[in-house]
Structure 1
Amino acid sequence: MVWNRASAEAAAIAGRWSEERGPGGAIVLFDAAGIKATSAGGYASLELSVPFTPDSENRLASISKHFMAATLLLEGLSMQAPLGSLVDGLPEAVGTVPLGRALDMTGGLPDMMEVLWQQGIPYTASLAREEVMALLKRLPGLCAPPGQEMAYSNTGWRLAEAVLEAQRGTPYRAALERRLLAPLGLRIGFPADETEPLRDLATGYWWDGLSWRRGRYGMHFSPSGGLVASAATLAKWGAALLSGAGPLAGMLDRLTAPRPFADGSDSVYRLGLVETRLGQVRIIGHGGSLPGYRNHLLMAPDQGVGVVVLTNREEDALWPALTVLAALLGEPLPVPAALTPGLYAEAEGPFWAELGPDSISVMGGFERLLQGRDGMLRSIPAYLDIALQAQGDTRLEGRIGGVARRLEKMPAGTPLDPRLVGVWEEPDYGSRIEIRADGTARMPGPGGLGAESRLTPLPGGRALADLKHGPWRHRPCLWLQADGSLRLASHRSRVLHFRPQNVRDPR
């Protein structure tokens, strides 16, 4: 291990945060014995000029997931049990999903944040756990059959909290403390929502083009992303995973055991962790993103080392983590793809993707693309596994989330299909969309006020809406059905089904 070179890379990254005199972060290198080196820069609080240190508390966001998975395994809960056998009152389709598939992102469960946003309720809205669960229990279906596709969703982890309480009679916070935190001597919090005061918590920020703004996330923090800890504490947790300390004996192998799709092929996503490669080295990790917070945990378990990157700034944390880990392992960094931007879609259905100079947005799910030696464009997945081959300048073919895709480049200037024009209503939640002939739409918005969007038409009775809220962008596809109805589909939510106004729902 080249510790000096890795420490120098970490110090250079943290130094840039300090030079900017903006939000910052901490980078901690560790092995199975504990912390080996730390770097930090920038501010945990711009308002108070508090420096960000390795001991600054930060929202872990989706890095939280594998803590819940470990807790469930220690509690002896069956990953094969259908959710409906573990929690009362779930919709029939949701109840058929096995717990393991709810956690490994192959369950087809709609993500509640996107379901709510598609109804005009943005992620900054203050919603208690009970309110979110009440809406979850009205879900009209699944995004895809269980086992067919890896599509990122936080809903399975929200349901896992309900499973733990229903089957073991204990809140997750108590089970986490008893099973993991107390035996390992770790200070990790699980606040209910953003209003809960927390000691030493770094404020999250995003750049609006002119200045830094505070990030907000109003919904209840579920085990999908609710934990709070410092970079130093997360590194100690990583060291305990690598060494199998205390209750974590054999746990890393259990968390990263292969999780097959229904066709028998393996998904890179396991139980709250992703397995991929950096050069010749197997790496395990997970990212985390909440408005104003971006984090990554990466480990090379066969070499017994890892790196934590926690930041309170809305920018990529995966590449800094890869840079430091590659320096530590003596592996070359992967080569970023050099792409020609363009919009692509399948010949039919709601599936689309847009290329940037070195990245791809797949129905709204963002990944940086790397150039493989075999000519393939690949992701080191933060959220989505991608392997594509460019066929000239007009076609992309390969697998996205485990599913074979063939995407054609969309022609510029496609007119809006006139059949989309009109007012559409969704019967399950009461949402309403108005599409106008000039290519604009009034999408569902807070309080029934609506949110204006200019549509990007696609051939075949389709169009992309464009909604922006704070630092995040949402681009659901409006997709006309053969029976004259309208579906609304994004990477994480594909279940809302609209009918023309004044047309009775046959159900």
Structure 2
Amino acid sequence: MPHPDLTRAAEEAKAMAASWSECDGPGGAVVIFDAAGPQSSAAGGHAVPEHRIPFSPDTPSRWASISKQFCAAAVLLAGFDLDAPLGELVPGLPETVGAVPLGRALDMTGGIPDVMETLWLLGQRFTAGLDEEELLRFVQRLPGTAGPPGREMTYSNTGWRLAGAAFAARGERYGDALRRLLLEPLGFGGIAFPADEGVLIPGLATPCWHDGTAWRRGRYGLHFSPSGGLAGSGMDLARWGSALLAGRGAASGLLEALSGPRRFADGSPSSYGLGLACVTLGGTALVGHGGSLPGIKTHILIAPALGCGVALVANREDLDPLAAAMRVMAAITGEALPEPASLPSGLYAEEVGEAWAELDGTTLCFMGATEPLFGAGDGVRTRPAYLQAALRLGAGGAVEGRIGGAQRRLLPVRADTALDPRLVGTWRERGFGAELEVTANGVVRLPGSAPADTSPLRPLPGGRALADRHHGPWRQRPLLALDQDGTLRLMSHRSRVLRFHRT
């Protein structure tokens, strides 16, 4: 096991922060910590670019999905049974959603569709202001799940929202329970759980994304659930990592509990635990999690055997936070960063089914979820967290392997594949009333789009086609697929439950 070099890591963090300052735009902070607490920090760029307020290690920022590990910790400390079906914890859920065990809702193997992604497919933009009760009522109307619990990992924030609802069903709001069980016992007064975007947090960093010409303010209107609602500074995040490493007070045993192995229904291990995912750097095992909101990128990465870690918060969309954290970890450990790798570029799809992928150099896009690729023996792999994949080139040019725990075989799609005429027409989703229209010249007007706002379709074999649309810094590539019963499914990696009927 290498000896940690925190001095070399501090130099790497300073170089990273200096590059943000040189850009004269938004920035971030990097804090290196061990079990005793924060050991060094670096910051650069602006927390509020329009006022040129510098980013510092004490600048509060949204943490996005790093919040999940705090929710999982509160769930464990509150004594919830991870095997309990959600329907026993939250009233009014659809039968299939209610049958998912709490633990599978939190380790992403429950097949529960992501609320934001489903709303977006239905035409609701994520900048719209929707409160907690409205979103819970939406979850109570979901038409089902993507499949039986434990079959596949599909990243979804909805299970964490329902964990918050489970606290409320017990008579205590999640934010109050989090403070009582975890934040106050650990002395983390600087960590806040603001309910929505409109809550004022003094000194909060401005989320920023670049439209190709200028920096713009990032927005997210939906109520911040336990999946992504926390805010704090880089120093606060480092103190949390330190408490996990040391097992101090209320954090005793939490690092092992949150990162411990979870398994798919077939018994194979998943890299994703309860708000912490496992990854390796050379021979060093790491655990951590990132976060992303429009204009916000965060990550915490911990090396338990070395007793140290790195916390990163930034208000710039163009940052890959895991890659940045891995750079600092490489400096700590002396391990080499993984080498990028590729398979033949092109569009691929299952012969029959919902799965498709696009390979472009060293990048994999699977059903709209995009991850970089790295070498792995005779194939490639992703950095497991949001999308765990190990792939190789098979017979006939197929790409095959496990993606999210499910075995897939994806075949090359011919460039001259024609649009299936059965897709043409106007289609309506009966539960929520959304409509889409496919024209004979190969374009689609997706739900919520203006009459002139259409997307060209990329045909796939077997009555399927890919659409493409953007909103702010985010891109969505929904699949339209005819089912055997004559309905049209509209789906993405995070949501596969919407069915449309021809009008």
Instruction: State how far apart, in whole Å, the 2-side matches of 1:479 and 1:11 are.
Output: 49
Instruction: State how far apart, in whole Å, the 1-side matches of 2:107 and 2:453 are.
Output: 33
- The answer to whether the 8 A contact 1:350-1:478 is kept is no
- The answer to whether the 8 A contact 2:282-2:336 is kept is yes
- The answer to whether the 8 A contact 1:161-1:222 is kept is yes
- The answer to whether the 8 A contact 1:62-1:225 is kept is yes
- Tell me by how many angstroms 1:341 deviates: 2.9
- The answer to whether the 8 A contact 2:161-2:225 is kept is yes
Instruction: State how far apart, in whole Å, the 2-side matches of 1:203 and 1:40 are.
Output: 15
| Residue number in structure 2 paired with 1:202 | 205
Instruction: State how far apart, in whole Å, the 2-side matches of 1:449 and 1:101 are.
Output: 40
- The answer to whether the 8 A contact 2:122-2:434 is kept is yes
**Unaligned residue ranges in structure 2 (runs of 5+):** none
The one of 1, 11, 14 equivalent to 1:11 is 14
- The answer to whether the 8 A contact 1:433-1:441 is kept is yes
| Residue number in structure 2 paired with 1:308 | 311
- The answer to whether the 8 A contact 1:443-1:450 is kept is no
Listed one character per residue, the Cα deviations across residues 166-196 of structure 1 (whole Å, up to 9, x for unaligned) are 13x1111111111111111111111111111
The one of 365, 371, 375 equivalent to 1:367 is 371
1:359 counterpart letter in structure 2:
T
- Tell me by how many angstroms 1:64 deviates: 0.3
The one of 358, 362, 384 equivalent to 2:362 is 358
1:327 maps onto 2:370 in alignment: no
Counterparts of 1:287-298 in structure 2, within 5 Å, are: 287-298=290-301
1:459 counterpart letter in structure 2:
P
- Tell me by how many angstroms 1:376 deviates: 2.2
- Tell me by how many angstroms 1:392 deviates: 7.5
Instruction: State how far apart, in whole Å, the 1-side matches of 2:360 and 2:294 are.
Output: 22
Listed one character per residue, the Cα deviations across residues 259-296 of structure 1 (whole Å, up to 9, x for unaligned) are 11111111111101101211111110001000000111
| Residue number in structure 2 paired with 1:259 | 262
- The answer to whether the 8 A contact 1:183-1:247 is kept is yes
Instruction: State how far apart, in whole Å, the 2-side matches of 1:399 and 1:334 are.
Output: 20
1:490 maps onto 2:492 in alignment: yes
| Residue number in structure 2 paired with 1:101 | 104
| Residue number in structure 2 paired with 1:504 | none
| Residue number in structure 1 paired with 2:119 | 116
Instruction: Give the SS at the match of 2:316.
Output: coil
1:64 maps onto 2:67 in alignment: yes
Instruction: State how far apart, in whole Å, the 2-side matches of 1:139 and 1:250 are.
Output: 36
1:473 counterpart letter in structure 2:
R
| Residue number in structure 2 paired with 1:133 | 136
- The answer to whether the 8 A contact 1:444-1:451 is kept is no
Instruction: State how far apart, in whole Å, the 2-side matches of 1:451 and 1:320 are.
Output: 37
- Tell me by how many angstroms 1:413 deviates: 2.6
- Tell me by how many angstroms 1:390 deviates: 2.3
2:322 counterpart letter in structure 1:
L
Instruction: Give the SS at the match of 1:460.
Output: coil
1:234 maps onto 2:234 in alignment: no
| Residue number in structure 2 paired with 1:477 | 479
Instruction: State how far apart, in whole Å, the 1-side matches of 2:62 and 2:360 are.
Output: 29
**Unaligned residue ranges in structure 1 (runs of 5+):** 502-507
Counterparts of 1:437-456 in structure 2, within 5 Å, are: 437-445=440-448, 451-456=453-458
- Tell me by how many angstroms 1:451 deviates: 4.3
| Residue number in structure 2 paired with 1:383 | 386
Judge which range, 376-385 or 188-197, deviates more: 376-385
Listed one character per residue, the Cα deviations across residues 14-66 of structure 1 (whole Å, up to 9, x for unaligned) are 11100000110011111111111111110001111000111111110000001
Structure 1 residues 194 and 397: alpha-carbon distance in aligned structure 2, compared to 1, 3 A threshold = same
Instruction: State how far apart, in whole Å, the 2-side matches of 1:475 and 1:148 are.
Output: 23
Counterparts of 1:26-41 in structure 2, within 5 Å, are: 26-41=29-44
| Residue number in structure 1 paired with 2:351 | 347
- The answer to whether the 8 A contact 1:43-1:50 is kept is yes
1:196 counterpart letter in structure 2:
V
- The answer to whether the 8 A contact 2:342-2:380 is kept is no
Instruction: State how far apart, in whole Å, the 2-side matches of 1:385 and 1:69 are.
Output: 21
1:455 counterpart letter in structure 2:
L
Instruction: Give the SS at the match of 2:291.
Output: strand
- Tell me by how many angstroms 1:338 deviates: 4.0
- The answer to whether the 8 A contact 1:120-1:450 is kept is no
Judge which range, 106-115 or 182-191, deviates more: 182-191
Listed one character per residue, the Cα deviations across residues 307-338 of structure 1 (whole Å, up to 9, x for unaligned) are 01111000211101001001101111110124
Instruction: State how far apart, in whole Å, the 2-side matches of 1:180 and 1:451 are.
Output: 47
2:184 counterpart letter in structure 1:
A
Judge which range, 385-394 or 305-314, deviates more: 385-394
- Tell me by how many angstroms 1:395 deviates: 1.9
1:296 counterpart letter in structure 2:
H
2:83 counterpart letter in structure 1:
Q
Instruction: Give the SS at the match of 2:402.
Output: strand
- Tell me by how many angstroms 1:357 deviates: 2.1
Tell me the percent identity.
55
Instruction: State how far apart, in whole Å, the 2-side matches of 1:240 and 1:260 are.
Output: 27
Instruction: State how far apart, in whole Å, the 2-side matches of 1:25 and 1:470 are.
Output: 21
| Residue number in structure 2 paired with 1:272 | 275
| Residue number in structure 2 paired with 1:248 | 251
1:211 maps onto 2:214 in alignment: yes
Listed one character per residue, the Cα deviations across residues 69-109 of structure 1 (whole Å, up to 9, x for unaligned) are 00010000100000001111101111100000000000000
Instruction: State how far apart, in whole Å, the 1-side matches of 2:452 and 2:35 are.
Output: 52
1:50 maps onto 2:53 in alignment: yes
Q: Give RMSD over aligned pairs.
A: 1.3
Instruction: State how far apart, in whole Å, the 1-side matches of 2:385 and 2:363 are.
Output: 12
- Tell me by how many angstroms 1:159 deviates: 0.2
Instruction: State how far apart, in whole Å, the 2-side matches of 1:485 and 1:403 are.
Output: 25
Instruction: Give the SS at the match of 2:495.
Output: coil
The one of 178, 186, 190 equivalent to 1:184 is 186
- The answer to whether the 8 A contact 2:271-2:385 is kept is no
Judge which range, 360-369 or 237-246, deviates more: 360-369
Instruction: State how far apart, in whole Å, the 1-side matches of 2:92 and 2:278 are.
Output: 34
| Residue number in structure 1 paired with 2:154 | 151
Instruction: Give the SS at the match of 1:182.
Output: helix
**Number of positions where the alignment pairs a residue of Structure 1 with one of Structure 2:** 498
Q: Taking structure 1 as the reference length, what is the TM-score of the superposition?
A: 0.96
- Tell me by how many angstroms 1:356 deviates: 2.2
Instruction: State how far apart, in whole Å, the 1-side matches of 2:99 and 2:233 are.
Output: 38
Q: Taking structure 2 as the reference length, what is the TM-score of the superposition?
A: 0.97
1:165 counterpart letter in structure 2:
A
